[in-house]
Structure 1
Amino acid sequence: MSTEKSKNVVVTKKARENLVKARAGAITLPKIIGMVFGEGGVSSSGTVIAPTESQSKLNKELFRKAIDGYTFPNDTTCRYECTLAESELAGKEISEIGLYDTNGDIVCIKTFTRKGKDDDVEQTYVLDDIF
């Protein structure tokens, strides 16, 4: 399991633990239900900070929101989308996002350069879960 094709995306250790337990039949894999947004994906100088697999949270979480939905662009990829409404996170600079499951666990994290969020614009974020 990977998420997108980027050095700044990581599948968390918790997600990998859940996958191996689900494959053995020990648990049912928790469903991904939302996206988490934060502003801690860059240093004070603006350099992107690579996430680590041991992270269980974003560096500076701001907001969680249910995903809009998902699609399967091919047999081994699930694409999750989440749209921030005009008023959501207005005035913030988003630099990290992740997916979370029904247990509230963050299963992947992506960091990137700051994306400003104006109060008159919707923004849609997309994460591909690729096997």
Structure 2
Amino acid sequence: MLRSRGLRLTAPRQLVLESVYRLRHATPDQIHADVSERAAGVNITTVYRTLELLEELQLVTHAHLSHGAPTYHPLGEHQHAHLVCRGCGDVQELPSPTLEGLAEDLRTTRGFRLDIGHVALFGVCGNCGTEEE
């Protein structure tokens, strides 16, 4: 895809893309740490710029799964929302059909088009127990 747009597939670009696919849901700092294990010369600025380019090329996307940095994941796979545990920080994928009814309701009643890939639902996973109400 890069070459078809007149761009080079550089080693840092390939390493960042491979890291996103390997880590599944990772912040730029986590991606940088992973890339640094394979190539010490890749700095955090290169990681951020590469992530922006890969997102523009629709190879990766991001979601905000915490108050911090965005979390990147591969885009070429099935679209999904995210379940984020406030206890342990675990991120689980929620298949998009689970939210299609809500998305359709929002579209027809409010004219709102839900971007399911950017949806994050926060709560407590089964491993962390149940919340007291």
Q: What TM-score does the superposition give when structure 2 sets the normalisation length?
A: 0.25
Q: Which has the higher helix share?
A: 2
Q: Considering Cα pairs closer than 8 Å and 6+ residues apart, tell me whether 1 or 2 has the greater RCO.
A: 1
Q: Relative to total residues, which structure has the larger strand share, 1 or 2?
A: 1
What TM-score, normalized by structure 1, do the two folds share?
0.25
